[in-house]
């Protein structure tokens, strides 16, 4: 059976470029880094801290690759994000890393670009809503990607919930759109 080629827009490097670009727009629009975020106990800068801390550790453990580190999110959240996002993009754009693989006891072995796309870029996508919501910016997410992520995550709900990385599902009205359903699934109240 022949597979249709992946369009350039759907390749991990391009999806990251687009997703990180939207997130960067929200970073640049942030005026109060101490504004409460939709994640309990977090403020806007904690969204940056989360992305800049978990992924480098995950990447190093699974590949030995060390990403460039910027300033602390405490001192310069926008600077921390920009250095981090640029380092991830450089990793995805570098032909030398095209054949690299990531090994992780929880997820097995995957091509590096697939692992970045599946675990990290999708996380940036979902946290775009958190930062936008915390800072009063446009919080709309791509509905097609919301639907795709939700469909994939629902098939793994037990593993996702047991990971401790997602809160309890928040009920949403029947007939809600994909963004509302995705947010409810990952434990966010889309109406707050």
Res 6: pLDDT? 40
| Inter-CA distances, 65 with 103, 118, 183, 185, Å | 12, 18, 32, 32
Asked if the model's pLDDT at residue 5 lies above 60, the reply is: no
**Residue 119 phi/psi, 5° resolution?**
-100, -40
- Report the C-alpha gap between 86 and 90 in whole angstroms: 6
In a domain, 25, yes or no: yes
pLDDT digits (tens, 9 = 90+) for 146-179: 999 999 999 988 888 877 778 889 999 999 999 9
Q: What is the CATH number of the domain that holds 71?
A: 1.20.120.450
In a domain, 28, yes or no: yes
Asked if the model's pLDDT at residue 1 lies above 70, the reply is: no
Work out how many domains the chain is built from and give that number: 2
Q: DSSP assignment of 135-186, as one string?
A: HTS-----HHHHHHHHHHHHTTHHHHHHHTSS-PPPP--TT--HHHHHHHHT
Same domain for 109 and 30: yes
Percent of the chain at pLDDT > 90 equals 81
Q: Is the pTM of this model over 0.95?
A: no
Same domain for 145 and 123: no
Q: Which two tokens stand for residue 89?
A: 């993009």
Question: Residue 130: CB partners within 8 Å, gap ≥ 6?
Answer: 37, 38, 39, 42, 47, 188
Chain center to CA of 59: 14
- Report the C-alpha gap between 118 and 115 in whole angstroms: 5
Domain boundaries, position 34? 9-128
Same domain for 123 and 67: yes
Same domain for 150 and 123: no
pLDDT digits (tens, 9 = 90+) for 28-58: 999 999 999 999 999 999 999 999 999 999 9
Report which of 92, 84, 176, 188 is spatially closest to residue 131, judged by C-alpha positions: 188
């Amino acid at each position: 059976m022949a597979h249709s080629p992946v369009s350039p827009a759907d390749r991990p490097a391009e999806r990251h470029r687009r997703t990180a670009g939207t997130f960067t727009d929200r970073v640049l629009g942030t005026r109060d880094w101490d504004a409460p975020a939709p994640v309990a106990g977090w403020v806007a800068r904690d969204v940056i801290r989360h992305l800049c801390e978990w992924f480098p550790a995950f990447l190093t453990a699974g590949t030995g690759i060390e990403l460039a580190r910027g300033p602390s999110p405490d001192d310069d959240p926008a600077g921390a994000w920009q250095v981090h996002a640029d380092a991830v993009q450089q990793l995805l754009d570098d032909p030398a890393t095209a054949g690299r693989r990531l090994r992780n006891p929880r997820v097995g072995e995957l091509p590096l670009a697939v692992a970045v796309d599946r675990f990290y870029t999708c996380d940036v996508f979902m946290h775009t809503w958190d930062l936008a919501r915390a800072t009063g910016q446009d919080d709309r997410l791509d509905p097609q990607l919301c639907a795709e992520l939700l469909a994939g995550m629902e098939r793994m709900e037990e593993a996702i919930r047991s990971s401790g990385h997602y809160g309890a599902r928040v009920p949403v009205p029947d007939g809600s759109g994909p963004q509302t359903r995705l947010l409810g699934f990952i434990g966010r109240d889309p109406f707050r």
